[in-house]
Structure 1
Amino acid sequence: MKRARSYSRVTKQALSIFGKLIKAGRLEHKLTATELSERAGITRRTLRNIENGEAGSEIGTVFEVAALVGVRLFDVDERTLATHNAHLEEKLTLLPKSVRHRKQEVDDDF
């Protein structure tokens, strides 16, 4: 059974804006919902959910649909993205691999 999830107002607004950008891109490219959904390998219902800003679609699917209609996620060229990605990889190697909270020992010495 799928667990109900709540999203903040900011997240909902961001999804709505992103969905509208994707829909505007589709219309500017004169693509029907059927054409775009076929190119993305998704159903029309999934595309409708993305365009309506509904949460729940896989992030990779949403990014692929955005790329197909020309909605850029980052406003830089590929070389800059590669450099930025390399810097982030370096940063991640310096950070701990995971975060664990220490268990607090019980003081039962009365």
Structure 2
Amino acid sequence: MPKSITRTYSRYTREACSLLSGLIRAARKEHKLTAQEVADRAGISRGLLQRIEKGDLKCEIGVVFEVAIIVGVKLFDTDESTLRKHIRQTEDKLALLPKSVRKKTKVVHDEF
């Protein structure tokens, strides 16, 4: 059995995850939704929802975003049309940048 990898996360990452998980839990309770109702709507187990609400950093980001949308947590401070505009701008920017980034190799001077 392979060893599990222990990851370290920055404090900012941990705090951001804690904030999002707290917002998800608060929104679920404000909308008077049970954990099982939200889990069923998201197509996940109740245990995974509990891990999301506790701020477990190993939960899949797509599932966390989906749960946030289901309970009404706004992920970005823009409406859908503005979000699409930002996506297009980012895609345009990425099209101008190189496909991959490589470190420059040192030139060897072997003239003796």
Q: 1:65 aligns to what?
A: 67
In the TM superposition, what whole-angstrom CA distance separates every residue of 1:73-98 from its partner, at most 9, and x where no partner exists?
11211111111111111111111111
Q: Residue 93 of structure 2: which of 75, 91, 94 is its match?
A: 91
Q: What value does the CA root-mean-square deviation take over the aligned residues?
A: 1.5
For residue 8 of structure 1, what is the amino acid of its counterpart? Answer: S
Q: 1:36 aligns to what?
A: 38
Q: Residue 81 of structure 1: which of 47, 69, 83 is its match?
A: 83
Structure 2 stretches lacking a partner, 5+ long: none
Structure 1 stretches lacking a partner, 5+ long: none
What's the secondary structure of 1:55's corresponding residue?
Answer: coil
For residue 96 of structure 1, what is the amino acid of its counterpart? Answer: P
What's the secondary structure of 1:91's corresponding residue?
Answer: helix
Residue 106 of structure 1 deviates from its aligned partner by 5.2
Asked whether 1:55 is paired with 2:49, we answer no
Higher relative contact order (CA 8 A, sep 6+): 1
Q: Which runs of 4+ in 1 moved over 6 A?
A: none
1:31 and 1:5 map into 2 onto residues whose CA distance is 33
TM-score by length of 2: 0.89
Percent identity for Structure 1 against Structure 2 = 54
Q: Residue 102 of structure 1: which of 101, 104, 112 is its match?
A: 104
1:70 and 1:22 map into 2 onto residues whose CA distance is 8
How many matched pairs? Answer: 110
For residue 101 of structure 1, what is the amino acid of its counterpart? Answer: K
Residue 103 of structure 1 deviates from its aligned partner by 3.0
TM-score by length of 1: 0.91
